[in-house]
Amino acid sequence: MMRRTWWIYLIAVLGLVAVAAPFVWMLLGSFKTQGELLQVPPTWLPQNATTENYDALFSKANFPRYFLNSGVVALVVTAGNLTFCSMIGYALAKLNFKGRNGLFVLVMATLMIPGMVTFVPLFVLVTNAGLANSYPGLILPFLVSPFGVFLMRQFFLGLPDDLIDAGRVDGSSELGIFARIMLPLTRPALATLGILTFLGSWNNFLWPLVIAQTEDKYTLPVALALYSTGQNAQNFGLLMAGAVVVVVPVLVIFLAFQRHVTKGIAITGLK
């Protein structure tokens, strides 16, 4: 048995190395000095491990603030997407009303327009609404995503109508059917949507950059770009240390949700 499968492990290990090596390099690099990072040939292990990059990072007075901003924005955006996308997706998949297909086409159409095209009009709109430099300005434009609606609709389509009928026969309200019967069944889709939305919001750079007019509304990626990139030189060590700090919450979120994602794949396989 072992003889036949050893090469599968070999390929898996090679894949793991390819995926993990940049992260290990980033982690080790965050303990190197700028001189060592630029050294040729490059080194793996830090020769003189130093925490000066982390010291520099956390000595920037506002660092906890950027972390808080990023966290608040990402969590609210994720919560909004989970709530609204599932509601809209459910309506588009399971409720019969006039113009349903037209609405769905409209949602799909917005999915096909590249974000860069709507970027400036969106910015003008948000600014004219007086939301520049505020949390609502950072959050509102991303509270519902057409992609999320599409994802949830497709998932709801795969669930049998009989469940809804059974709920109605037993006298549950329409909201009750949605919240207590249908929504719990979409947990794998919700987990996927949650991870993708959180990642997207956490890493978003351009929007927070233009909408935040003062430093106290900056998010982590903006602050990181601010402190590590100069006009003529980059502070690579600081960049690595910052990237490590930025990656940690994403890893935590992923570990928390990944069980559900794999479960989702398993369920789809059984159908």
Partner 1 sequence: MFTHSIRRRLVIGCVLALTLAACGRSADTPEAGGQATTTVSDGPATGDLTVWAMGTEGENLPKLMEQFQQANPGAKVTVTPIPWDAAHNKFTTAITAQSLPDAAMVGSTWMGEFADLGALDPTPQGFDNAAFFPGALDTTKVKGVQYGVPWYVETRLVYYRKDLATKAGITTPPTDWAGLKAMAKAMKDKAGAKCGINLQPGGTGSWQTVMPFAWSAGAEITADDQKTFTLDTPAMQEGLQYFQSFFTDKVACTDLPPNQTEAQFVNGTAPMFISGPWMAGSVAKAGGDAMKPNIGVFQLPKNKTATSFVGGSNFVVFKNSKNKDSAWKLVKWLSEEKTQAAWYKLSTDLPAVKSAWQDPSIASDPLLPVFGKQLEDAKAPPSIVNWEQVAVAFDTEIEKMVKAGQSPADTAKAIQTKASQIGTGGS
- The residue ranges that bind partner 1 (CB under 8 A) are 34-35, 38-40, 116-117, 119-121, 123-124, 127-128, 132, 205-206, 209-210, 213-215, 222, 225-227, 229-233
Beta carbon of residue 228, minimum distance to partner 1 (angstroms, whole number)? 9
Q: How far is the CB of 25 from partner 1 (least distance, A)?
A: 17
Q: Which residue lies nearer to partner 1 by CB, 190 or 246?
A: 246
Interatomic CA distance for residues 216 and 233, integer angstroms: 25
d(CA 52, CA 26): 15
| Least gap, CB of 261 to partner 1 (angstroms) | 32
The residue count of the chain comes to 271
Q: Which is nearer to partner 1, 64 or 130 (CB)?
A: 130
The 3-state DSSP composition of the chain as helix, strand, coil percent (nearest 5) reads: 75, 0, 20
Give yes or no for a contact between 31 and 49, defined as CB atoms under 8 angstroms apart: yes
Rounded CA separation 30/28 (Å): 5
Q: Least CB distance from residue 248 to partner 1, whole Å?
A: 22
Q: How far is the CB of 227 from partner 1 (least distance, A)?
A: 7
User: For residue 64, is the peptide bond before it cis, meaning its omega torsion is within 30 degrees of 0?
Assistant: no
Nearer to partner 1, 109 or 124 (CB): 124
Nearer to partner 1, 234 or 258 (CB): 234
Residue 51: CB minimum distance to partner 1, A: 18
Query: Which residues partner with 234 through β-bridges?
Result: 229
**Between 141 and 148, CB nearer to partner 1:** 141
CA distances from 247 to 2, 60, 139, 221, 240 (A): 36, 19, 21, 11, 10
Nearer to partner 1, 167 or 242 (CB): 242
Indicate the angle between helix axes 220-228 and 236-270, nearest 10 degrees: 150
Tokens of 176: 């009750």
